[in-house]
């Protein structure tokens, strides 16, 4: 049984859109959503808009690569 999770931008993120503070976005509780392609100011781990996991640290490419591999095996 498959659980289909469709992650799409519902424009809710625009309500939480983070202002541009320069280089220290991640220090200001701002997180990047890869689906919405936007920086939002949000305390949770998941995007309130699309439900995608937010990136809290800029250097996370290693674990992301692992995730992509797991994803492609479906």
Binding region for Zn ion (CB under 5 A): 9, 13, 33, 35-36, 47, 49-50
Provide the minimum distance between the beta carbon of 64 and Zn ion in the complex, in angstroms, as a whole number.
16
Of 14 and 58, CB closest to Zn ion: 14
Question: Nearest distance from residue 47's CB to Zn ion, in Å?
Answer: 3
Nearer to Zn ion, 20 or 45 (CB): 45
The residue whose two tokens read 């999770």 is: 5
Helix H or strand E segment including 19: none
Q: Which is nearer to Zn ion, 1 or 37 (CB)?
A: 37
- Beta pairing class for 38-41 and 30-33: antiparallel
Nearest distance in Å: CB 33, Zn ion? 3
CB environment 31-46: b (16+ within 10 A), e (fewer): bbbebbebbbebeeee
């Amino acid at each position: 049984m498959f659980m289909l999770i469709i992650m799409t931008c519902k424009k809710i993120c625009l309500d939480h859109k983070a202002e541009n503070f320069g280089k220290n976005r991640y220090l200001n509780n701002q997180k990047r959503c890869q689906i919405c392609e936007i920086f939002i100011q949000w305390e949770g781990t998941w995007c309130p808009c699309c439900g995608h996991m937010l990136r809290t640290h800029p250097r996370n490419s290693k674990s992301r690569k692992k995730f992509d591999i797991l994803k492609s095996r479906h």
